[in-house]
Amino acid sequence: MSVRSIRFDWFVKNLWRDKSSFVRVEGFLSELLKDDIKIVEVLESEANQDAPERKFNRVDIVVKNDRGEIFLIELQNSDEPDYFYRMLFGVSKAISERVKIGDRYGTLAKVYSINIVYFDLGHGKDYVYHGTTQFEGIHRHDILQLTEKQQQFLGKTDVAKVFPEYYILKVNRFDLQTRDTLDEWLYYLQTDEIKEEFRAKGLVEARQKLLVDNLPAAQRRAYEKFLDNQAYERNSVEWAAKKGFAKGEKHGVKKGLAQGRAEAIRETARNLKKLGIPAAQIITATGLTKAEIDKI
C-alpha cells in the first residue's frame, strides 16, 4: 500500500526550517553514499528564491555534515543543455567562497555535488551515476596514489577522496523496480509515493510527516498551487518543444524539396550535354548559367 506524499522539492522549498527536518535529507544522503550522514548546518539555500527562472524548475541547498564535508543538493525539473557546467560552477563556488587568504590548502572541505534531474542529462543506460577525479599514467596506465605520508597528513586514503565527487540521479530513467533502499528513494522521487514496506533511511521517518493529507489547510492549498504551476510549466515546455520541432520539420521539408529540384535540373543538363545539345539551348531549358553547365 502507498499513500500520496509531498514532493521532495516542495518539502525543501517550504518545510526545510529546523534540525527536526534534517532527518529526511540525512536519510537520502546516507542511502546514496552508503554512509551515515549527519547534517549540522544549512550553509546556503536558493530554494526559496522566487526569480522566474527558479520558481518552479530549480531547488538547491548547501549543507554541512559533522565531518565538515559540504553537500550541494540540487533538483532540476526541466532540461538544461549546459547543466554539466552548472554542476562545475556550483562546486567551484562552494570551494572558493569557503576559503580565506592564508588558509592551508589542506583545510579545504570535501564537496559532494548531488544532482536530482528529471530529464535526460547526457547519454547513458543507468539512472544513477557517480563521478570522481583520478589520474592515470599516459604510458603505464597506472592510477596515481597518495603516499603514506600524504595519507597521514590529509586524512585521505586515495587521491579521489581529495577532489569533489558528483552524483547524478536521472529520476525519469528509473523503472520503478525497487532493488535496494536507494531505489526506494528513487521511487518516491518519481511517484511522490512512499510504500509501507519501504525501509530506506529518511523515508521511514518521513512517511507521516510528508503525507499531503497531514498538511495544515494553508500549506495544503499552497502545495496544490505548486503542483498546478508545475503542470503548467511542463505543458508550456512540451508545447514549445513541439512547436519548434514542427517548425524545423517544415523548414527541413522545404530545404529537401529545393535540393531535390536542383539535382533534377543538373541531371537534365548533364543528359542534354551528352546528346550534344548546344549550351545556349541547355541554358534556356534549365535556367542554369553557362558557368554552371561547364562544371557539369
The grid cell for 18 is: 529546523
Kindly report the average pLDDT of the chain as a whole number. Answer: 81
Distances (CA, A) of 167 to 129, 130, 268: 6, 5, 60
- Reported as a single tens digit per residue, the pLDDT across 212-222 is 656 667 766 77
In this prediction, residue 282 carries a pLDDT of 79
- Determine the average pLDDT of the residues in 217-228: 68
In this prediction, residue 50 carries a pLDDT of 44
Q: Of the candidates 216, 223, 188, which has an alpha carbon nearest to the alpha carbon of residue 204?
A: 188
Q: Which residue has the higher pLDDT, 227 or 47?
A: 227
In three-state secondary structure terms, 175 is coil
In this prediction, residue 174 carries a pLDDT of 97
Under the banding of pLDDT at 50, 70 and 90, the label for residue 237 is low
In this prediction, residue 213 carries a pLDDT of 58
Q: Which residue has the higher pLDDT, 288 or 277?
A: 288
- Reported as a single tens digit per residue, the pLDDT across 28-60 is 999 999 999 999 888 865 544 444 444 445 668
Q: Of the candidates 202, 284, 283, 237, which has an alpha carbon nearest to the alpha carbon of residue 8?
A: 202
Say what angle helices 22-33 and 181-191 make with each other, to 10 degrees: 130
